[in-house]
Structure 1
């Protein structure tokens, strides 16, 4: 029998935990899932280093997760900690590595963009049930966006591109609300990056969005009185409703966005940049709707760990 496993995903904007058991049929049973907004990527694009405050927030979350792992009886040997775009870019990454190791007893792995894409695809597809192929999974993070096109659980093309909600907000979309010139410059930059991605997104018959930008847009679209993962998971937003939704988000001030009941306060200042990416994707993707999934890279990591244990 497989041991209980855990995955921690430390991105540019958030650090997340999933603890799960083997369901005995090749899948997993969720035991605990957590998210903490730590903004590890604060200023990395400009300075090339982690800000001390960002490290402090991240280490505090690691300490909390260490307590949870002990509570759930997860052995460090069955725990994987992956770090993505912000940690790839930081000059003082060793301080980050040492802090994670000290608090959790595991080494942080800086995974490649291609591995991140594969794990995101595996996790996302595990949660959406029957669907027409090809499937495009889009994971918009704080520092990068992963595009993965696949069919019958086989990946056809995958890439990680350097456009993310924090990166674009700090670099291009600085106004509150953003000016028309800023929006135009951001659209041009996103279009150029998507156009050179090498992934034929127009082929997709199913479009699956994972991670905070996508899940938040699903909650806003449903006008939820509070964020509800059960209502967000599997939510479908038709393209004709998605584009104006994104445009509405981009046009609002941070204060107006923070007043939305389902909006996490620490996402309000970067969601507009993520919405630009979604809106530009919607203009290119062949599928006529976005399906939002709560299963993502965390699920992909745990499924990989469980598969290893079954051997």
Structure 2
């Protein structure tokens, strides 16, 4: 017997959805979608309100995500709708949540930073055996989790771009200040999130329109190659960056800030490489929904 589950993630940079099928004790990939909405565009420590344009883009993206899951046959009662840093740090959230819930037709859960980190670890463990720790770099925040540790840092790619633009030296300095107290050296670090996925796509030279999670899952990202990629991208103007194989054009203005944060994280943890994973918080949320119906999950497959 198979049962389908879905999840919608309202992030700072994009709206994402995932559909999976529970079969045996496995979650099998069914479909996914992503819409760049930039809900947190322009938001920083001083400006904390959503712009009308960003909110309009986001509501449209949410509508399309809900439609995709519904048309795939996933029942609303088996779909979860959640938000992360995009709604944690902004002002006026209580006014927009009812509008978002009406658009999707589901209640919206705002996940805390620590819970987001924990769920990211759960998702990573579904797809990678022997993982010791996971980082999830999104648009608004960076989450880091391992056994007994879960933290969220306001170092997301959109946030860094809003504050520093492409000023890599300033981003590196800021990230080092925030992450300097990290210690410990995990044996196997898993990286998830849009920046990490883009890096894997670029390193494997996969056109962004040909994305499929199986094509980049378990890609090893070495720090030396990451630094080389960052320097090359930073030297390009925006139009040239938008033509790089593997990089979705809409991410061209935030990819350098995102890579800078990953570089600093690896330095602080004393690591020379990490493994990119495609099973993230969306997979963990779907697994949790399945567990509510008594369906346990051991592994995720594509």
Q: Do the two structures share a fold, i.e. TM-score over 0.5?
A: yes
Residues 99-110 of structure 1 aligned to structure 2 (within 5 Å): 99-110=99-110
> Distance in 1 between the 2:169 and 2:64 partners?
41
What RMSD, in angstroms, separates the aligned Cα atoms of the two structures? 1.9
Residue 228, structure 1, aligned to residue 227, structure 2: no
Q: Which has the higher mean CA deviation after the structures are superposed, 59-68 or 6-15?
A: 59-68
Helix, strand or coil for the counterpart of 1:22?
Answer: strand
Helix, strand or coil for the counterpart of 1:117?
Answer: helix
Shift of 1:118: 0.9
Shift of 1:2: 7.5
> Distance in 1 between the 2:78 and 2:200 partners?
33
Q: Is the 8 A contact 1:118 1:158 kept in 2?
A: yes
Helix, strand or coil for the counterpart of 1:220?
Answer: helix
Q: Which has the higher mean CA deviation after the structures are superposed, 2-11 or 265-274?
A: 2-11
Q: Is the 8 A contact 1:44 1:86 kept in 2?
A: no
> Distance in 1 between the 2:151 and 2:17 partners?
24
Shift of 1:228: 2.8
> Distance in 1 between the 2:266 and 2:233 partners?
15
Shift of 1:116: 0.4
Q: Is the 8 A contact 1:38 1:57 kept in 2?
A: yes
Shift of 1:3: 4.5
- Which of 217, 221, 243 lines up with 2:227 in the alignment? 243
Corresponding residue of 1:73? 73
Corresponding residue of 2:188? 206
- Which of 135, 140, 154 lines up with 1:138 in the alignment? 135
Q: Which runs of 5+ in 1 are unaligned?
A: 150-154
Shift of 1:159: 0.2
Q: Is the 8 A contact 2:137 2:193 kept in 1?
A: yes
Residue 276, structure 1, aligned to residue 268, structure 2: no
TM-score (normalizing by structure 1)? 0.88
> Distance in 2 between the 1:66 and 1:101 partners?
11
Residue 258, structure 1, aligned to residue 245, structure 2: no
Q: In the comparison of the two structures, how many residue pairs are matched?
A: 292
- Which of 161, 171, 178 lines up with 2:153 in the alignment? 161
TM-score (normalizing by structure 2)? 0.90
Helix, strand or coil for the counterpart of 1:310?
Answer: coil
Residue 43, structure 1, aligned to residue 39, structure 2: no
Q: Judging changes above 3 Å, is the alpha-carbon distance between structure 1 residues 258 and 286 closer, same or farther for their aligned structure 2 residues?
A: same
